[in-house]
A and B are shown apart, each in its own frame.
Chain A
């Protein structure tokens, strides 16, 4: 089906390496969100795009985290100089309208499990 897809599904990185995680949202969805989910915890918000504009990056934990959505569709979350505490599942979600429409559901991808050794 035409759901949200993410790649890779699993990524192992050595500490200090840079990684790039890709999200393909549902076609036509305006909103795109990134979340970080540590083991045994609920997802935590990282950043929000409305089309190509990054309107909220308040959840990014450090300046090593960078996200982009240059054409308003595919998005990439980049983590520079990875640390062990970056190990988590990174989830992407998309929604049809801007996030101010609070009744609309978010559709989540399966996530990318990042392990930093």
Chain B
């Protein structure tokens, strides 16, 4: 299975943008890139997904490198409620959702 690599932790100041990186050098052509986040004491929640093109939704933006070997989740203005563990996951039709350890984002007021 394709694997992802994320930093263990990151810090951000409130109301500043946050760029959360993810490396997936062994990604295959059929893998979608998904991001989920897990707030304290809750189950994970979907954030965004993409295949090749950059994607935007109301929660975040996803920037995908041209070679697809890396991607970046962008939170345009971090709030205290964005403090969570962020997971970058590769999905195709044959595998399950494989979560790594994720990136723990701390947002400072």
Contact = CB atoms under 8 A, between A and B. Distances in A.
A56 interface: yes
B16 interface: no
B43 to A, nearest CB: 3
A42 B43 contact: no
6 contacts: A33-B96, A42-B87, A45-B97, A102-B92, A111-B42, A111-B43
A108 interface: yes
Contacts of A105: 34, 46, 49
The prevalent SS among residues of A at the interface is loop
Given A42-B102, A103-B49, A33 B97 contact: yes
Interface residues of A, number: 25
Given A91-B43, A93-B43, A111-B43, A106 B97 contact: yes
Contact of B96 (A4, A41, A42, A56): A56
Contact of A106 (B46, B98, B100, B101): B46
A2 B46 CA distance: 16
A4 B98 contact: no
Contacts of B87: 42
Contacts, number: 52
Given A110-B41, A110-B42, A111-B43, A100 B99 contact: no
Interface residues of B, number: 21
Interface string A68-99: 00000000000000000000000101000001
B45 to A, nearest CB: 7
A73 to B, nearest CB: 19
Contacts of B49: 103, 105
A59 interface: yes
A43 B98 CA distance: 8
B46 A43 contact: no
B44 interface: yes
Sorted from nearest, which 8 A-B pairs have the closest CB atoms?
A: A108-B43, A42-B99, A105-B46, A45-B96, A102-B91, A100-B93, A43-B99, A108-B44
